[in-house]
Amino acid sequence: MYPEDRVLVGVMPDPRDFEIAQERHWYRVPVSQAPNGIHAEYIAFYFTARFPRDLRWAVSYYARRTGHELARRINLFPDQPDHPRAQEQYYKVQLGEMREKLPPIVSLRWRRITFIQTTWDRFVKANEVNDLFRADNEFVDRIYRSLKARGIHAEREVVLGSSSRKQAVDLVIPCNTGPVVLITGDGQRAGAIKLIGDEAQDMTQIEAAIVARGGVAVVDAPF
């Protein structure tokens, strides 16, 4: 294990998939969600609400990737020939021994997670899911860590909005009068965004606020 080893954090959707990973030592990743292939040395797993309370909403297990191959879903699950994604391609990722992450990396607020690419040094030091994100954007990383040091737990790299109108944002910062969203980069979308309304308690409420308002407004002064 080296600090620069790559770790791919993926969703463990239900107990059957966890059983497959433990007993048959493989995990599936849709090709559409990893178009450039699978390159991580380790695969870690974020457990959904379908699991018991001691596992759900946390990264609780991981394993070394020992290889991978392309396969259609019908080949992975021949007992489900009529599944709507039966002909879609997946990476069948071969896994080594499943290991428990102690303590687990928890999600402080409910949020959707697909895949997070991180490094081994971040993985072993992380206390919560937001700690996993790499410092590719040093500005955002500096703000996130500064806020955390002050006891303010922002959410990183969140996709907000409806399926037909999505907006990727760098940070969602909880505030007493409503969350502030930070977007970096060029163009008029960059800056701090204030969502109007009561303080949202989870990502579902934040998304609902954006959809209800038909979008968000950029604050004149950048963050």
Q: According to the model, what pLDDT value does residue 170 have?
A: 77
Q: What string of H, E and C letters represents the secondary structure of 43-81?
A: EEEEECCCCCCCCCCEEEEEEEEEEEEEEEHHHHCCCCC
Distance CA 137, CA 106 (A): 23
CA distances from 88 to 68, 76, 81, 211 (A): 16, 11, 12, 31
CA dist 196 and 212 (Å) reads 11
pLDDT of residue 73: 96
| CATH 2.30.130 assigned to 6-132 | yes
User: In the chain, which stretches have pLDDT less than 50?
Assistant: 186-203, 206, 210-223
Taking only the tens place, the pLDDT of each residue in 1-50 is: 788 899 999 999 999 999 999 999 999 999 988 868 899 999 999 999 99
So what's the pLDDT on residue 142?
A: 72
pTM for the model:
0.66
Buried b (16+ CB within 10 A) or exposed e, 16-28: ebbebbeeeebbb
- Longest Cα separation, the chain: 57
What are the domain boundaries of the chain?
6-132, 138-213
Give the pLDDT of residue 36. Answer: 80
Beta strands in the chain (DSSP E): 6-12, 26-30, 42-47, 58-72, 89-95, 99-106, 115-119, 155-162, 165-173, 180-183, 191-194
